[in-house]
Structure 1
Amino acid sequence: MKRLIGLLGVFSLAVLSAFTPADAGGKESGGADTVHALGLSSKSSGNSERRDPEFVEDAYVVSMGDSYISGEGGRWRGNAYGTNNFDDRDAVPQDVDLQQTDRTRRGTTLKKIYGNTWMYKDSSGRNQPGCHRSDVAEVYGAKDTTIKNRHGASVVPVAVNLACSGATTSDMRTSFKGEETSQVGQLEGVASTGKKIRYVVLSIGGNDLNLSDVIKFCVAEYWLIHVGECEKRASDSVKQENLNALKSNLKSLLRKIDADLKFYELTPGFAKFIIQGYPRPFVTTALLGRADGRVQRIHKQGCPFTDLNFSELDALNLRINESLEGWTKESDFWPAGRKGIFMNLRFAFDSHEVCNKHTVISKGTATYDGVTTGEPNSFAKAQSRYEWVRYINHANATSEEGNSLMQESAHPNYEGQLVLQKCLKNVIGKFELSDAYKVYTCHHGDIT
């Protein structure tokens, strides 16, 4: 019955219009919990089957998956650790960091950044970190380009963010973090109301391999707790049996999404897949900015790892990206009749990772790159020497707020999100010109 109702919706006289983000510093949405905005604001667009030149039918770009595409970390405009100059990171981060880099202290509300996805209540009524879909999530970069709709007309796409921080491949098919419907179910809901989906952009796999636990044990090892566990956990996470399971789950997920798209598509194969890898959040040992003493590495740099751990984390990132890319090259990986490509993000933040010696921190003054109020209004503001990844936050893990702050650690911050937006925009531009499989590599937003 649900599908019958949805199918009838495809041929309705009015096609609901999804929430459309507004421009600001790259692209920001007018509210982050995009899935809840779908269908709430509508416009009459005439008969969806009209083909006269005046009719322009929308096309949608939908992001799905985990925290590396949900917009996690978009609250923070760089990192700050010190007091009155670029290089003093001696002070404990909290107050200076909040004052100088927290967008909620600079005229942007937490509601505007994360919408209703900052926290959710678990079964016991306790607040837990939510999906963290931010207003500067990667998918909004699609608004900077044009794509072909089903009738061949060039249109500015509508961006929809369904991704949820912490999601695994199986979580995408079930209710998760207080969401009423799974990500797959939400995608079907978008398609069933007549919205024509052109691209599904997917970031998934890191949580299947328990990468957050690896990082936790690496931090613990830095404090001489669980010595040796960082290397062991990193190695175990990418054991061949775990990678095989992830590959199988990912292929099954793609086929489920494909089946749902086919049911509502009026033009077979109209939607395309973009699977992306993971950017490298931490610097390599060779480019590590030095701090004097063990305590200073966390207070001055926000990266409590040993030199060996940096190498282990880099090797882990490489293995995951190589695996994802390799699978997408196999002929039976993609659902039959569905085009797909791989977006390599490993070097997207090159020289702007946490603790890279070439980066600087936010000024401990009332200004941010000379801007004292409001938000910078161009991507050029991100082309600076700031770190593009949120540092490891050692907030109070026993508090509800602290848990959400810690969840943002090691994720692209506001600047990093703008870079990812540009990566996606440029990849979509390439994919529009050719359906052929290809690996596109992003560096600072530029594509090769």
Structure 2
Amino acid sequence: MAALGSAAPVQAAAPAPAPAPVPASHPAPPAGPSVAVALGDSFISGEGGRWLGNTDRYDKGRNGTDRAWTGTAYDPGRVYGATAAVGGCHRSDVAEILTAPLPVAERINLACSGAETQHVLSAARGGLSLNGEAPQTDRLAQIARTKKVTLVALSVGGNDVGFGTIIGDCAYDWAFSRLCWKKQAAEVDRKLPAVRAKVSAVVDDVRATMAAAGYGDGDYRLVLQSYPSPLPGGEEFRLREGDPNRLRRDGCPFNDRDASWARYTLVPRLSAMIRDVAASRGADFLDLKDTMAGHEVCALGTTQVGATGPDARQHEWFRFLDYANTQGTLEESMHPNAFGQRALGACLGLVAAARPGRYGCVADYLGDGSPTAMRIRPADRAAGR
């Protein structure tokens, strides 16, 4: 302060501080109608959706089970559209993303039969194309930038473990009265840690892709789902173990011990691995291991479809092993059929309507026995059946 009565030197006024730069606004999800997207493999693409139960009739509409029957010919495109070719993605019209009761304006199925984690992972992270299509997460990125994605459902990892190969090898061993489970269990033990890392990488990639498009984790639901068992335990088969009709008619050529290992060990281990990935990545988890209980291929209490036609309450919800391609294609074997696809859709709808968390989905035995009569419960409880 200047002394009293003295002249203070004249100083230029200090310039006002420049306003702090306004941070660039964080990008936000696009406005507009909401969209649900499916990513992954055959269990979510809709493989097997051509069929309404199984039958040993091989002509015409096959007792009403073959939805590809036009009345004069078989046209798989009626079910799988442009993806119907052998080896194609087989995105069926009853895939769970299409049948689930979801509050969205649009559903987009990017999943493809035969996909492994490398086909879902973006190209920038080493992902590969499949059937001439870009990696699924790259396609998700395009959708997320132009549409408001509110749900992503993901099923992946089964092909990396070699689930289809396991089924095929066990069927082969049945023909020679050999057990396969010990050999396959050792292979699963060897592969599972690497598969967990691959599934985790896919989830991280999906999260990063959505973030790059302006989404926070709370702007959409990411539902990571496990796999339903196509086989019952060995004690629950319709036919005795040595009956040749397990192959010739029922399409389930498996030893009781191998089936029990698959039902009570392999499928639960896959589910536990996927559950742990979901928990570590903050994703929702949909446990499907018990969803088809009582309606697996050859399960006691179910029958093949007869002349009166399909009835979901008494027939199988999985496609049997069509080992000779005598009806459809071998690749449809051991996948949820149209009944099973609707059950999966019902489960996804229930989880989407519930609070974020981990859930198991099972049949609601207080319901009418239809595939849409499902219920969810906390996954830890579901694990104990």
Q: TM-score, length-normalised on structure 2? A: 0.80
The alpha carbon displacement at 1:326 in A equals: 3.0
Q: What SS does the corresponding residue of 2:244 show, helix, strand or coil?
A: helix
The code of the aligned residue for 2:39 comes to: M
Match of 1:301 among 217, 230, 250: 250
Give 1:21-40 correspondences, 5 Å limit. none
Distance 1:158 1:273, change over 3 A: same
Length, aligned pairs only: 334
2-structure distance, mates of 1:440, 1:312 = 20
Give 1:49-448 correspondences, 5 Å limit. 57-81=32-56, 93-95=57-59, 98-105=62-69, 109-119=75-85, 128-142=86-100, 144-146=101-103, 156-173=104-121, 174-192=127-145, 194-224=146-176, 227-228=178-179, 230-239=180-189, 241-265=190-214, 269-291=218-240, 293-314=242-263, 315-329=265-279, 333-334=280-281, 339-363=282-306, 365=307, 367-368=308-309, 382=312, 384-396=313-325, 405-430=329-354, 434-435=355-356, 437-443=357-363, 445-448=374-377
1-structure distance, mates of 2:176, 2:217 = 57
The code of the aligned residue for 2:141 comes to: E
Is the Cα–Cα contact under 8 Å of residues 207 and 217 in structure 2 kept in the other structure?
no
1-structure distance, mates of 2:60, 2:68 = 13
Is the Cα–Cα contact under 8 Å of residues 196 and 265 in structure 1 kept in the other structure?
no
Deviations 1:57-91 (A, max 9, x none): 2111111111111100000011112xxxxxxxxxx
Tell me which residue corresponds to 1:32. Answer: none
Is the Cα–Cα contact under 8 Å of residues 48 and 333 in structure 2 kept in the other structure?
yes
1-structure distance, mates of 2:234, 2:216 = 50
Q: Which 10-residue stretch deviates more, 273-282 or 317-326?
A: 317-326
The alpha carbon displacement at 1:386 in A equals: 0.8
The code of the aligned residue for 1:111 comes to: G
Q: What SS does the corresponding residue of 2:249 show, helix, strand or coil?
A: helix
Is the Cα–Cα contact under 8 Å of residues 99 and 105 in structure 1 kept in the other structure?
no
The alpha carbon displacement at 1:141 in A equals: 2.9
Distance 1:249 1:323, change over 3 A: same
Tell me which residue corresponds to 1:54. Answer: none
Tell me which residue corresponds to 1:21. Answer: none
Q: What SS does the corresponding residue of 1:273 show, helix, strand or coil?
A: strand
1-structure distance, mates of 2:150, 2:305 = 39
1-structure distance, mates of 2:216, 2:286 = 25
The alpha carbon displacement at 1:171 in A equals: 2.1
1-structure distance, mates of 2:174, 2:333 = 16
Distance 1:342 1:292, change over 3 A: closer
The code of the aligned residue for 1:264 comes to: A
2-structure distance, mates of 1:292, 1:261 = 50
Is the Cα–Cα contact under 8 Å of residues 72 and 133 in structure 1 kept in the other structure?
yes
2-structure distance, mates of 1:342, 1:218 = 29
Q: What SS does the corresponding residue of 1:322 show, helix, strand or coil?
A: helix
The code of the aligned residue for 1:131 comes to: C
Distance 1:266 1:351, change over 3 A: closer
Is the Cα–Cα contact under 8 Å of residues 351 and 359 in structure 2 kept in the other structure?
no
Is the Cα–Cα contact under 8 Å of residues 241 and 255 in structure 2 kept in the other structure?
no
2-structure distance, mates of 1:340, 1:157 = 23
2-structure distance, mates of 1:346, 1:292 = 23
Q: What SS does the corresponding residue of 1:115 show, helix, strand or coil?
A: helix
Distance 1:66 1:310, change over 3 A: same
The alpha carbon displacement at 1:252 in A equals: 1.3
Deviations 1:73-113 (A, max 9, x none): 000011112xxxxxxxxxxx533773531111256942231
Larger-gyration structure (1/2): 2
Q: What SS does the corresponding residue of 1:327 show, helix, strand or coil?
A: helix
Distance 1:295 1:258, change over 3 A: same
1-structure distance, mates of 2:61, 2:235 = 27
Tell me, which stretches of 5 or more residues in structure 2 are unaligned? 1-26, 122-126, 364-372, 378-385
2-structure distance, mates of 1:97, 1:233 = 40
Is the Cα–Cα contact under 8 Å of residues 141 and 210 in structure 2 kept in the other structure?
yes
Is the Cα–Cα contact under 8 Å of residues 389 and 411 in structure 1 kept in the other structure?
yes
Q: What SS does the corresponding residue of 1:208 show, helix, strand or coil?
A: helix
Q: What SS does the corresponding residue of 2:219 show, helix, strand or coil?
A: coil
The alpha carbon displacement at 1:210 in A equals: 0.6
Is the Cα–Cα contact under 8 Å of residues 297 and 303 in structure 1 kept in the other structure?
yes
The alpha carbon displacement at 1:180 in A equals: 2.8
Tell me, which stretches of 5 or more residues in structure 1 are unaligned? 1-9, 16-47, 50-56, 82-92, 120-127, 147-155, 370-380
Is the Cα–Cα contact under 8 Å of residues 63 and 305 in structure 2 kept in the other structure?
no
The alpha carbon displacement at 1:324 in A equals: 1.7
2-structure distance, mates of 1:293, 1:208 = 32
The code of the aligned residue for 1:72 comes to: E
